[in-house]
A and B are shown apart, each in its own frame.
Chain A
Amino acid sequence: MLRNAFNHFTDTGMTTFGLLIFAGFFLTLLVWVYLPVRKKFYKKMSQLPLESED
C-alpha cells in the first residue's frame, strides 16, 4: 500500500494537494495559537523559568 502511495510522488496534482494540506494546517495552527483568549495563560507559562530563585 505504501508503495502505491509513493507512486504518486511524481503526480503534481497530488503533491500540490499535499502542499495545500500542509500550508492549511500550518496557518490554522498560527491563527489558533495567536487567538487572544489565552493571553493570560501564555503570560503565566513564560514566567515559569523565573519562578526558581537560583
Chain B
Amino acid sequence: MNQTPKNMEEIYYDDKIVKMFLIAMMSFAGVAFIAGLLAAIQLAWWPANMNLEWITFGRLRPLHTNAAIFAFAGNAIFAGIYHSSQRLLKTRMASDLLGRIHFWGWQAIILAAAITLPLGYSQSKEYAELEWPIDIAITVVWVVFAINFFWTIAKRREKHLYVALWFYISTIVTVAVLHIVNSIEIPVGMFQSYPVWAGIQDAMVQWWYGHNAVAFFLTTPFLGLMYYYIPKAANRPVYSYRLSIIHFWALVFIYIWAGPHHLLNTALPEWAQTVGMVFSVMLWAPSWGGMINGLLTLKGAWHLLRTEPVIKFLVTAVTFYGMSTFEGPLLSIKSVSSLGHYTDWIIAHVHGGALGWNGFLAFGMTYFLVPKIWRTELYSKSLATWHFWIGLLGILIYYISMWAAGITQGLMWMAIDESGKLVYPDFVETVTRIVPLYWVRALGGLLFIIGYLIMCYNLFKTIQLAPKEQHDTKALVPKRTQETLKDNPADEGHRWLEGFATLFTVLSLIAILVGSVISIYPTINMQKYIQPANIPDPYTSLELAGRDIYVKEGCYLCHSQMIRKLEFDVLRFGPASTIEESMYDRPFQWGSKRTGPDLARLGKKYPDLWHYNHMINPRSVSPGSIMPNYPWLERHDVDFLSLRRKLSVLKRLGVPYSDEEVANADIDAQKEAQILAEDLHKNGAPAGLEKKQITALIAYLQSLGQKAKKE
C-alpha cells in the first residue's frame, strides 16, 4: 500500500467548477459569434435587420460585444483561473459554495444581458451598456469571486505567488474599481438610469473604463493564463521569470493611463490627449516584453508547433497579442488616429485582439484542459488542426478586409482638393465604396465560426470517450504548517514581496490608482474648462425624451457627436465641437465609430419631414444608405409620464431646469409634440404622430448643435 510521506497530504482539486465554466464558455461563444456574424451581414446588406427592433444593428452590436467579452472571454478566464490557481497555490478553492454562486450568478447576469439588450435597455456606454440592476448584480458576483480567490490565497500551501497569480490579482482589483466608478448612476426607472458624469466627464470616465476593460479583462487575465498554460503545454518553464516581473509592474502601471487615446483630436483638453498618447506608446515596451517571454518559452521545443494543436493555438494567440499591442500604440499617435479613428481600422484592431489573442488563447487552453480534467485523450488532433487553420484564415480575412475598409474610408474623408473643398463631400459615397469589404469580413467571421463548430464536435466526442465515473484530481501537497509557510531569512526583494499577498494586492492597487486619479480627476472638475458665455440651454422635455430613444436604439454605435479639431472634419460637419455643447449630456454621445455621418450639428439642416422619411426608410432620402429602417418608432408611444422624474433627477445633478419646467415636463413635451406632429402632417406625414416616439426623436435630432448660445 502506498504510504503518504510525512509532511505531505492528499487533497482533491475542485475540477467540477472548471468544467462548468468551460461548458458555459463554449456555449456562449456560439451566441457571441453568431450575433457578430449577423451584425456583419447587416452592415453589408441592410435588409438583414429585418425591420425587427430587437435585432436591429444598434441593439445587436452591444449583445455581440457583451457576449464576446463577458460571456465567452469571461467564462474562459474563470475556467483558467479556477484550474491554475488551485494547482499554483497547492490547495482546493476555499469554498465550493462561493464558486457555485459565482458561476450561476455570472450566467444569470449573461442571461439578463441577453434579454435586456435586445429590448433596448442600455446605458449606451460601450462594454458597460447593462442597466443599473444588472450593474449591482455584477458587483455582488465579482465580490463573491474576489472573496473566494483571496480566501484561497490565504489558505495556500505554497508561500510564493507565481506570476500568473499576480495578473489574476490585478485583474480582480482593477475590474472592481473600473466597474464601480463607471457605473455611478441614478435610476430614473426600473431599467433606466442617468450617469452622474456628464459630457467630457462621462467621456473620460467611460474611456478610462472602456480601454481598461480591454486591459484588465481581456489582457491581464489572459497573460496570467499565458504564463501558466504555455509552460504547461510545452512542459518547460517560462523563458525569463525576471522579464515577467518587469512585464507585470510596467504593464499595470502604464496601461491605466492610456484611456484618452480614444478621444484624440476631440474637445478633450490637450494635456489629457498628450498623456493618453504618450502612455499608449510606452505601453508597447512591456507588451512586447511579455510577448517575447511567452514565445521564447518554446525555445528548444519549437518542434511542438508542428505537431501539437494546443501549441499552435497558444503561440498564434501570443503572436496576435504582439500584433495588437504594436497596432494599438500606433493608432494612439494623434496623426495616425486622425486617419484611423471612427473607421473600420479600429474594428480590425479589436478583432485581431479578440479573435486572435483572446479567442485562440481560450481555444488552446480548452484543448489542453478538456482531456486533462475529463481524464481522456483528445478525440481528434487532426480536427483540432483543421480548426486552427480555418480559424486563422478567418481571422486574417477579417483583419485584412477591415484594414482595407478603414484606411480607404479614412483617406476618402480626409481628401481635400486644390480649391480647399472635400473630394468626397457625400458621406454615403464613402460607405458604398467599402460595402464589398463588409461581405469579405462576413466571410472571415463565417470561417471562424466553422472552426468553432469543428471544435464543439471534437470536444463533444472527447467527453463522450471519457470514463463515466468522474472524480476530482487528487494531488499530493505539502502539509500547511509553519514550516511550509515560514519566512525564509534569505528571502528579500521581490521574492519577499511575493510572499505577502495582501501587501502585493495593495501595491498593485496603488499602481493603477496613480494613473486613474491623475487622468480622471481634472476632467471631473469640468467647470475649469467651461466658458460661461458658451453654456448651452438644456434640452426641452420632448428633446430629452427623444434623446432617450436615441440612446435606447444605440444610434451612437454608428453616429458620432463630436466634430474633431481637424480641417476635413470641420469642412464636412461644421465648426469643431466644444466641451460646453455636451456638458448636460448624460450619457455623453461622442461615439467611437462613423458608419454614418457625425450628427453634432445635424439640427435644422433638414426639414422635419426629411427626418420622418429618413427614419421610416433611409434610402428614400439618402440613396445607398445602409442604415436600418425604424418603422416601430411611429408605432410606439413616448413615455411622457416619466419625464417629470427624469428632469427632476437631472436638475438634482446640476442641469438648470426651473421648478416649473420639472413640474410641467410631461405637459410641455406633449404641447411641443402636438405642434411638431401637426407640422409633419401638414407636409405629408400621416396624422396622429403626436404621441409617437418618432416625433420626440425628430425634436432631439433637430436640437443637435442648436443649443449653444448664439453670438
Contacts and interface: CB of A to CB of B under 8 A. Distances in A.
Given A33-B246, A48-B88, A43 B522 contact: no
Contacts of B236: 50
A52 B12 CA distance: 12
A5 B470 CA distance: 61
Given A33-B494, A45-B495, A52 B87 contact: yes
Interface in A25-52: 26, 29-30, 32-34, 38, 41-43, 45-52
A45 B522 contact: no
B241 interface: yes
Contact of B241 (A6, A10, A42): A42
A9 interface: yes
B473 A2 contact: no
Contact of A34 (B158, B242, B492): B242
Contact of B245 (A10, A33, A43, A47): A33
A43 B160 CA distance: 13
B288 interface: no
Contacts of A3: 525
Nearest to B494: A33
Contacts of A32: 493-494
**What is the interface residue range for chain B against chain A?**
35 or more
A29 B493 contact: no
Given A3-B525, A26-B250, A33-B494, A48 B271 contact: no
B246 A30 contact: yes
Range class of the A interface residue count:
20 to 34
Nearest to A47: B237
B228 interface: yes
Contacts of B158: 48
Which secondary structure characterizes the binding site on chain A? helix
Contacts of A9: 271, 522
Contact of B162 (A2, A34, A49, A53): A49
Given A29-B249, A33-B246, A38-B495, A49 B232 contact: yes
A36 to B, nearest CB: 10
Contacts of A33: 242, 245-246, 494
Interface string B451-489: 000000000000000000000010100000000000000
Contacts of B235: 50
B627 interface: no
A45 B164 CA distance: 11
10 contacts: A3-B525, A6-B521, A10-B271, A33-B245, A41-B495, A42-B241, A45-B241, A46-B241, A47-B237, A49-B237
Interface of A: 2-3, 6, 9-10, 26, 29-30, 32-34, 38, 41-43, 45-54
